[in-house]
Amino acid sequence: MIALGGAIGSGLFLGSAQAIHKAGPSLLLAYALGGMAVFFMARALGELLLYRPVAGSFATYAQEFVGPWAGFVSGWSYWFLWVMVGIAELTAVGVYIRYWFPDLPQWVPVLAMLGVLLAANLRSVKVFGEFEFWFALIKVLAVVALLIFGVAVLGFDAGGLGTHASVSNLWTHGSIFANGTMATLLVFPAALFAFGGIELIGVTAGEAEDPGKTLPRAINGALLRILVFYIGAIVVIMSLVPWDQISPNFSPFVTVFDHFGIPAAAGVINFVVLTAAASACNSGIFSCGRMLHTLANAKEAPAYFATLSDQHVPTRGIIASVVFMLAGVLVNYVAPEQAFIYVMSTVVVIQLWTWSIIIISHLFYRRAVAAGRVAPSPYRMPGAPWSGYLTLAFFALTLVLLAFDDNTRLAVYVAPAWVVAMVIGWQVAKRG
């Protein structure tokens, strides 16, 4: 549920609207190719996890098989990734609130929600896992509800609502590549952003009761369900409402029910995706605080962040992370219409590093197995090492494509700045 809930978030509930607007039905191809790449990445991670389940996951394997610098960069990059994911989810909150209050400045609900989530995270986290489980379940049920509604309308014309609904809407409003092949390529980053969170399986590995049984099932099952939910949901959405009539400014889930004149259902769905975004940001704050605490204990972050409160909460790490998330309030104030795409593309850059280092660690691990230095894993990545090389090439292509879109080009400038920051940080950590 953690992997499923982490990957089903604003990428599907909000980002898919902008991707549909940009690429049309060919978005399905981008999701399929992105899903294949993420599948190989997850299988590489699974092989490493079954070799030696650890709580540190990919940062630990990067340190063991690539070098200490790779572990340092992976840990800090994952912290930065969740800061940016938190900002993306907060931006989604601002967009969803505008459905009810269109004249309210987008930054206002962003700031208010950040304050609420900060207060929640500074308290005891005894119920955190249970809380996230149920909110992941709500997100899954929202997708299932859309799929059931779509099948009822398309297959049985339930309630006489399906007059203009048809699977043929996928190709009768222009071709499948209605906006051209380049538009399809340019939504690759959106597709990979949508699948972000699947690597959270690795973070739970150290706590798994029977990793040899549960981790392979979790990886294979989560990926299959994500592909079904994403591709199935997008097929249903574009069959019910022609893709060129879907607004990029609102959740397509809400648009579907609005289109069929069911405002009550649209309001309920909007509330569901609002709580889903808040939940994902809550996970981001939780993860960021723990990551800073872990880095501090490894002497790779200031010792200031190693302290826990009386409730065993890394208060200092949480507050510092939220301070960085305040940048999201500023982005939503300066550029509310572009805020989500700006943050999404930045997340993709850091996400590509995280996934790439997993693949690279796996390649070095396979070499160590061939040399007899480490034991082989019972759970193998199919097609390795060539599947690993192809996945890295796909990730590299996606990074290059960010530079071809005016709205995502900003993220390309973030990448070298982050590399410089990590080089300086590693030098300081070594001396410390």
User: At 200, which CATH number?
Assistant: 1.20.1740.10
pLDDT at 44: 92
pLDDT at 204: 59
CB-side neighbour CA atoms (13 Å) of 395: 24
Cis omega (within 30 of 0) for bond into 68 = no
How many residues comprise the chain? 432
pTM as predicted: 0.83
Q: Residue 133's domain spans which residues?
A: 2-431
pLDDT at 394: 95
Number of domains observed in the structure of the chain: 1
pLDDT at 88: 86
What is the pLDDT tens value at each position of the chain, 432 positions in all?
665 666 677 777 777 888 888 888 999 999 889 988 988 998 998 899 888 876 556 778 888 899 888 888 888 888 888 888 888 888 888 888 988 888 899 899 999 988 888 887 777 656 566 666 777 788 788 888 888 888 888 877 655 555 577 888 888 877 788 888 898 898 888 888 878 777 766 665 555 667 777 778 777 776 777 777 788 888 999 988 888 888 887 788 888 888 887 777 778 888 888 888 887 788 778 778 888 887 888 788 888 888 887 777 788 988 999 999 988 888 888 888 778 788 888 888 888 988 999 999 999 999 999 999 999 988 889 998 999 999 999 999 998 998 888 878 888 888 888 888 888 988 888 776
Q: What are φ and ψ of residue 390, in 5° steps?
A: -65, -40
The contacts found for 154-162 with CB under 8 angstroms, 24 or more apart, are 154/236, 154/239, 154/240, 161/260
pLDDT at 340: 79
pLDDT at 386: 94
Angle, CA of 264, 15 and 112, to the nearest 5°: 70
- Share of the chain residues as helix, strand and coil, in percent rounded to the nearest 5: 75, 0, 25
